[in-house]
Amino acid sequence: MPTGPRVIATPYRPIPLVVPDGMKPNEFFNSAENLADLMHNNGLLRNPEGLLLYRKALGHSNLFDCSIIYNTSTSILDPLGRPVRRTQVPEPVRNVWNRMNQIVIAFMLERYPDPAAHLVLAGEASLDATWPLSSPGVPSIRMLHNHFIVFDKAALAAAPLADPNNPNLTDGGQHSLFQAYMHDVYQAFFDAFDFDLLIPCPAQASRVGLTSYPQGLPSWEIRNGAAALKEVRFWQEYDTILKGFLDFYRTFFGQVSTRNSPPPHDIHFPRLVEEKLLFDNDFLKAAKMVRDQCIREAKYANLIRWQPAFKQLIYRNDDGKLIVTISQNSIGNAITELLGVVVNRQPDAEAYARDEPALLEQLLEVRRRLAAADLGDGIATAHWSAG
């Protein structure tokens, strides 16, 4: 069987949203009105911390798919002022979020125990203003949310191969930039962190055999697997990876922007940045190369995402091990593309209706477990009761 990224078709029920005259869809998706619709039509559970569990109306997989969003739509009206990554979330909220993550991931692993049969993943993506202001493809909901998804591997195996040059898979050239010119610097930077529950994982062990993805990303095996997700220490190390990534990204594009610029303000690991990055010739040579190209080519400069853009994943590999990885850049519109799965959403209410009962049965069970752990209260919609 050939390996490579796959394109799968996922049916959905057309959403009965009316975008006000004079607004573009992506502008409307930033609004409190859209979030209210998301809650009333697809909301499953909410808690006083502002975390909302909901069914994905435009899903990645109809086997299992839901999200948790930190809903600040009515408390922070400026979309650019909202928390967009875990490091910006208040610690009490992050603690609740971590417990919710642990319970949902545990459910997926319990319901889909065979790594040969199902691909299980969970993770979040940056949704801040990382696109150029003039770009039409700005993020939709500028609030941090994560994903919980299960794919059937037999369906993936039967799906057609994706175009390997699909920009959602190549990360717009930034991924290859990091790998071609700074792979050793990037790896050495992360190797400097001392983890207890995260073990550096070789590329071959981290890849999903069907797709051969992820490619070239630093990865870590979670020692003790799902049991580790119940430990505070794991989530601290998970956040350390993100903080390290943010320091690397901000330092690099700071040097691209301004030659010999000082370290970014409020970096998390100033000593490592100074020793491992700002005194590394390969790192600074790569920054000069990108800076020079920005000056020469307006189109290239317009594609640069100056602020940190990332996708961070927990997923199960072919051997049943839980793996953590993080992308250097992410212009794709689905977190699944880190694992080589391109989702082609297709409006088909009849096909979605066939999948809906089994999907909802699982989502309502997840809601029951979260509510039992005092992690929120159920939401009633036209499709289900409050529980």
The predicted model scores a pTM of 0.92
Report if residue 113 sits inside a domain: yes
pLDDT of 261 over the 70 cut: yes
Q: What's the total number of domains in the chain?
A: 1
Q: How far apart are CA 83 and CA 126, in angstroms?
A: 10
Confidence tier at 351 by pLDDT (50, 70, 90): very high
Is the link from the previous residue into 214 a cis peptide, with omega within 30 of 0? yes
Q: What is the pLDDT of residues 277-287, one digit of tens each?
A: 999 999 999 99
Encoding tokens for residue 132? 């150029």
Q: What is the pLDDT of residues 136-147, one digit of tens each?
A: 555 556 778 899
Report if residue 385 sits inside a domain: no
Position 165 scores a pLDDT of 77
Position 174 scores a pLDDT of 47
pLDDT average, residue stretch 320-349: 84
Report if residue 166 sits inside a domain: yes
Alpha helices (runs of H) in 258-348, residue ranges in sequence order: 270-272, 281-296, 298-303
Q: What is the pLDDT of residues 160-181, one digit of tens each?
A: 999 877 777 765 444 566 667 7
Position 172 scores a pLDDT of 46
Report if residue 268 sits inside a domain: yes
Report if residue 144 sits inside a domain: yes
Encoding tokens for residue 255? 């040097």
E strands, 50-91, are 51-55, 64-70
- CA-to-CA dists, residue 53 to 28, 66, 140, 145, 146, angstroms: 21, 7, 18, 10, 10
pLDDT average, residue stretch 202-228: 91
pLDDT of 333 over the 80 cut: no
User: In residues, how long is the chain?
Assistant: 387
Position 206 scores a pLDDT of 92
Report if residue 228 sits inside a domain: yes
Among residues of the chain, what percentage have pLDDT more than 70?
90
Position 128 scores a pLDDT of 59
Position 198 scores a pLDDT of 97
Report if residue 37 sits inside a domain: yes
Q: How far apart are CA 234 and CA 237, in angstroms?
A: 5
The answer to whether 151 touches 119, Cβ cutoff 8 Å, is yes
Q: How far apart are CA 225 and CA 48, in angstroms?
A: 30
Report if residue 384 sits inside a domain: no
Q: How far apart are CA 53 and CA 146, in angstroms?
A: 10
Q: What is the pLDDT of residues 336-349, one digit of tens each?
A: 988 999 999 999 99
Which residues form the domain of 54? Answer: 6-378
Write b or e for each residue in 260-269: b if 16 or more Cβ atoms lie within 10 A of its Cβ, otherwise e: eeebbeebbb
Q: What's at 121, amino acid-wise? A: L
The answer to whether 160 touches 197, Cβ cutoff 8 Å, is no
Confidence tier at 193 by pLDDT (50, 70, 90): very high
- Please give the residue that has the higher pLDDT: either 74 or 372: 372
